[in-house]
A and B are shown apart, each in its own frame.
Chain A
Amino acid sequence: MSHSSHILICRGTACVSAESREVQTEFGKQLKQRGLQEQVRVVHTGCFGFCARGPVMVILPQGTMYCEVRVEDVREIIEKHILGGQTVERLLFKDPVTQEVTEKIDDIDFFKKQVRIALKNCGHINPDDIREYIARDGYKALGTVLTKHSPEEVINIIKKSGLRGRGGGGFPTGLKWELTRKSPGKLKYVICNADEGDPGAFMDRSILEGDPHSVLEAMAIAGYAIGAGQGFIYVRAEYAIAVQRLTTAISQAREMGVLGKGLFETDFEFDIELRLGAGAFVCGEETALITSIEGNRGEPRPKPPFPAQAGLWGKPTLINNVETLANIPAIILNGAEWYAGFGTEKSKGTKVFAIAGKIGNTGLIEVPMGITLREVIYDIGGGIPEGRKFKAAQTGGPSGGCIPAGLLDTSIEYDTLLEAGSMMGSGGLIVMDDSDCMVDIAKFYLEFTCDESCGKCTPCRVGTKRMLEILERITEGKGTIDDIDLLKELGHGIKEASLCGLGQSAPNPVLSTLKYFEDEYIAHARDKVCPAGVCKKLSSIRIVPEECKKCGACAKVCPVDAIEGKPRELHEIDPDKCIKCGKCIEKCCFKAIKR
């Protein structure tokens, strides 16, 4: 049975929470009522990446994209688009800045500049149906590898492709495979690190939700290359949809005979077990993750020995991140040269970024390495909303740093980001505007790492706590100028002396903001002022007389009665009573109250 139209509805986490499941059900119901279920097929897919406009859907063959579709819109889409052959204008994508309307998904700027390799199937196939993956050349790479290549040849292809670890470290993937293969021992393991914990990064979740089989296939290829028969996926328990899709995918792959014994009529066997993370950020660190699978407190151990030498239960173990693995089948099918054709000299291929914060199009994008931050933020991301000014982009989560406006033209590569005092990390990219306080942001990240420090080594356990105390002092107006030097000294010490990546990178958010925004620290510590007006104890709230319309709304919401004045008279805030909660700022319709 061939269908004349396909409706692809995103069922990633963000769209599901915007009720895409209900929209899909409604489509099914109404198409059936009209007897159209034979002509129009409704498919639920993984993440399109356009999360800010969810729920999103695409109608094929036209390639029309509709955004923010509600249950009430279903009837109109069926009557006008499916039956009438016209587009429903009001649901098309409208550029937040230029107000320009675009019909086709491929013409939208957000998608135009992207190169999708790791995300190639996300949004195109039903992740719960292995046949759809196979129809897009799924498991062909595994078949090719098992029947045509020796393990050494596979490793060579990956080495030549220049692929580096996408989880943060950037270690050359092919080399990691080679080292694990060369380690002596019969029993080896492959682990997929899906313990994505960086606040602001959600690419691994989207890949697992949208294209779980690509990860399973890559793990089997890796197993063949290094000589392992068992794989583990360590995934965060919080990712409910991803866990459910992986469970389905593993059982379908076993039924289809692409996992298990005698794959592709060879004597190679490979199977995968799912392990759920129990909520500890440090378990994203590879040695901590291994300790956790073994059933212990997830504390890291010193390296060497590296997991490639002695990993899970002391056996040589290959541990790769989800996004790294998702690139593997495409590299095998299209060749190392093809992959190395994207990107730059030292950073090959593409990288997925989760863009969020103060940006027009929040969502998930995949771009060639070497693209500039400016292109990502302004061309793809649609710029900064509400006419505000760009201040900094935070990359690499709690291990990374902030990149200021002056470096917007930096190309995005592993090494250039390190030089700028940040890092690639897992690919979270949070945009901040002039209403964000950089000292507050640094404090925010330190609160996170301090909380997530496992406590095994002293520099990280005690050091991050001391740094946090200093930052709390500074943001409360109790800091001194010497505190800034102390922060730097402590930060460098923690970097040098910590046991694992968490501690070694924990001071980065502070050190990088100190590098580019030291003036803000000085303003807090010496002048007792928070220039952005974020730090409550260092800001005052005032009413601008020229803009006040004397309505009295602010006085009604003030919880401490700090606003004095009668209706139709100018109001004033009593600074001694004011607790700077900001309720009046939210209430004022005329934006007459400012920090």
Chain B
Amino acid sequence: MCQCNCEEPKSNEALELEKVYVKYEGKKGALIPVLQAAQDIYGYLPAEVLKDISARLRIPVSKIYGVVTFYAQFHLNPRGRNIVRVCLGTACHVRGGAKIAEAVTKAIGIKDGETTEDLRYTFESVACLGACGLAPVMMVNDETHGRLTPDKIAALLEKYE
């Protein structure tokens, strides 16, 4: 039984975040690395977490919100378990990247920037994955898939639970 006067026990996530605060304590320019670590822990950046970071780093929430919305990497809403990134960079563009994006929408029923209701997939388009030699390319989580054709997409996505 907890004998202290704390309101509620800390979640595992909060404990993890605590370690991050300790690591960056007193460091200049810590906001972005802390936000990145927090997003790794929670999967996205819930409003309460932003408030917590604001209190700990002594940075106004308004400023944090400004930073979070500036960078494409940060997300304020829950994300799917599998992140599907379709490359629409130049090399992929001239080799039919848009058709791959269409095939993804057809396969999982969501558009660029959306997440499926069951949180299985999030679909986003990106400007370049730097794997131009294999164009058209898409990335699912950390795996890059190259030399794609629209007919390969459905089976490929099916593998990600």
A454 at the interface (CB under 8 A from B): yes
Q: Per-residue CB proximity of A425-468 to B under 8 Å, as 1/0?
A: 00010101000100001001100100110100000000000000
Specify which chain B residues have a CB less than 8 angstroms from the CB of A200 in the assembled complex.
Answer: 89-91, 128, 132
Number of residue pairs spanning A and B whose beta carbons lie under 8 angstroms apart: 137
Q: Which residue of A lies closest to B133 (CB)?
A: A51
Contacts A278-B32, A357-B90, A357-B91 hold; do A238 and B126 have CB atoms under 8 A apart?
yes
With the chains together, A114 CA to B128 CA distance in Å?
Answer: 25
**Can you list 10 A-B contacts (CB < 8 A)?**
A17-B131, A51-B132, A52-B134, A199-B91, A200-B128, A298-B70, A358-B94, A428-B90, A430-B91, A444-B90
Neighbour of A278 across the interface among B29, B72, B130, B137, CB < 8 A: B72
Asked if residues B130 and A205 are in contact (CB atoms below 8 Å), the reply is yes
Contacts A197-B128, A430-B90 hold; do A14 and B67 have CB atoms under 8 A apart?
no
Asked if residues B134 and A51 are in contact (CB atoms below 8 Å), the reply is yes
Asked if residues B133 and A54 are in contact (CB atoms below 8 Å), the reply is yes
A369 at the interface (CB under 8 A from B): no
With the chains together, A313 CA to B142 CA distance in Å?
Answer: 34
Asked if residues A357 and B131 are in contact (CB atoms below 8 Å), the reply is no
Distance to closest chain A CB from B134 (angstroms):
5
Q: Which residues of B from 117 to 161 have beta carbons under 8 Å from A?
A: 126-135, 137, 142-146
B28 at the interface (CB under 8 A from A): yes
Asked if residues A278 and B129 are in contact (CB atoms below 8 Å), the reply is no
With the chains together, A356 CA to B146 CA distance in Å?
Answer: 14
With the chains together, A220 CA to B40 CA distance in Å?
Answer: 31
Q: Which residue of B lies closest to A361 (CB)?
A: B133
Q: Which residues of A from 345 to 383 have beta carbons under 8 Å from B?
A: 354, 356-358, 362-364
Distance to closest chain B CB from A192 (angstroms):
16
Neighbour of A13 across the interface among B32, B71, B131, CB < 8 A: B131
With the chains together, A353 CA to B108 CA distance in Å?
Answer: 37
From A31-39, A93-101, A130-138, A288-296, the one touching the partner chain is: A288-296
Asked if residues B127 and A199 are in contact (CB atoms below 8 Å), the reply is yes
A280 at the interface (CB under 8 A from B): yes
Contacts A292-B32, A357-B95 hold; do A280 and B72 have CB atoms under 8 A apart?
yes
- 4 further interface pairs, Cβ-Cβ under 8 Å (given A199-B91, A278-B36, A430-B90): A51-B134, A278-B71, A357-B132, A441-B90
Neighbour of A279 across the interface among B71, B133, B142, CB < 8 A: B71
With the chains together, A98 CA to B133 CA distance in Å?
Answer: 21
A202 at the interface (CB under 8 A from B): yes
Distance to closest chain B CB from A16 (angstroms):
7
Specify which chain A residues have a CB less than 8 angstroms from the CB of B144 in the assembled complex.
Answer: 13-14, 16-17
Contacts A14-B133, A54-B134, A278-B36 hold; do A297 and B28 have CB atoms under 8 A apart?
no
Specify which chain A residues have a CB less than 8 angstroms from the CB of B113 in the assembled complex.
Answer: none
A240 at the interface (CB under 8 A from B): yes
With the chains together, A472 CA to B123 CA distance in Å?
Answer: 25
Q: Which residue of B lies closest to A49 (CB)?
A: B133
B74 at the interface (CB under 8 A from A): yes
With the chains together, A16 CA to B146 CA distance in Å?
Answer: 10
Neighbour of A454 across the interface among B70, B90, B130, CB < 8 A: B70
Distance to closest chain A CB from B62 (angstroms):
12
Q: Which residue of A lies closest to B126 (CB)?
A: A238
Q: Which residues of B contact A (CB under 8 A)?
A: 28-33, 35-36, 66-67, 70-74, 89-91, 93-95, 126-135, 137, 142-146
Neighbour of A362 across the interface among B31, B66, B133, CB < 8 A: B133
Specify which chain B residues have a CB less than 8 angstroms from the CB of A292 in the assembled complex.
Answer: 32
Pick from B72, B130, B135, B146 the residue with the most CB of A within 10 Å. B130
Q: Which residue of A lies closest to B67 (CB)?
A: A297
Specify which chain B residues have a CB less than 8 angstroms from the CB of A281 in the assembled complex.
Answer: 127
Q: Which residues of A from 392 to 443 have beta carbons under 8 Å from B?
A: 394, 397, 428, 430, 432, 436, 441
Pick from B33, B94, B129, B137 the residue with the most CB of A within 10 Å. B94
Specify which chain B residues have a CB less than 8 angstroms from the CB of A297 in the assembled complex.
Answer: 66-67, 70
With the chains together, A356 CA to B133 CA distance in Å?
Answer: 6
With the chains together, A428 CA to B66 CA distance in Å?
Answer: 32
With the chains together, A563 CA to B90 CA distance in Å?
Answer: 32
Asked if residues B146 and A17 are in contact (CB atoms below 8 Å), the reply is yes
Q: Which residue of A lies closest to B85 (CB)?
A: A238
Q: Per-residue CB proximity of A269-288 to B under 8 Å, as 1/0?
A: 00000011111110000000
A256 at the interface (CB under 8 A from B): no
Asked if residues A294 and B146 are in contact (CB atoms below 8 Å), the reply is no
A237 at the interface (CB under 8 A from B): yes
With the chains together, A13 CA to B89 CA distance in Å?
Answer: 16
Specify which chain A residues have a CB less than 8 angstroms from the CB of B126 in the assembled complex.
Answer: 238
Pick from A197, A200, A364, A445 the residue with the most CB of B within 10 Å. A200
4 closest A-B pairs by beta carbon, nearest first, are: A51-B133, A199-B89, A279-B72, A17-B144
Asked if residues B142 and A448 are in contact (CB atoms below 8 Å), the reply is no
A196 at the interface (CB under 8 A from B): yes
Neighbour of A313 across the interface among B28, B89, B132, CB < 8 A: B28
Q: Which residue of B lies closest to A278 (CB)?
A: B71
A483 at the interface (CB under 8 A from B): no
Neighbour of A296 across the interface among B67, B91, B128, CB < 8 A: B67
Neighbour of A280 across the interface among B70, B130, B131, B143, CB < 8 A: B70
Q: Which residue of A lies closest to B102 (CB)?
A: A581
Asked if residues B74 and A239 are in contact (CB atoms below 8 Å), the reply is no
Asked if residues B90 and A199 are in contact (CB atoms below 8 Å), the reply is yes
Specify which chain B residues have a CB less than 8 angstroms from the CB of A237 in the assembled complex.
Answer: 36, 73
Distance to closest chain B CB from A440 (angstroms):
9
Distance to closest chain B CB from A279 (angstroms):
3
With the chains together, A357 CA to B91 CA distance in Å?
Answer: 5
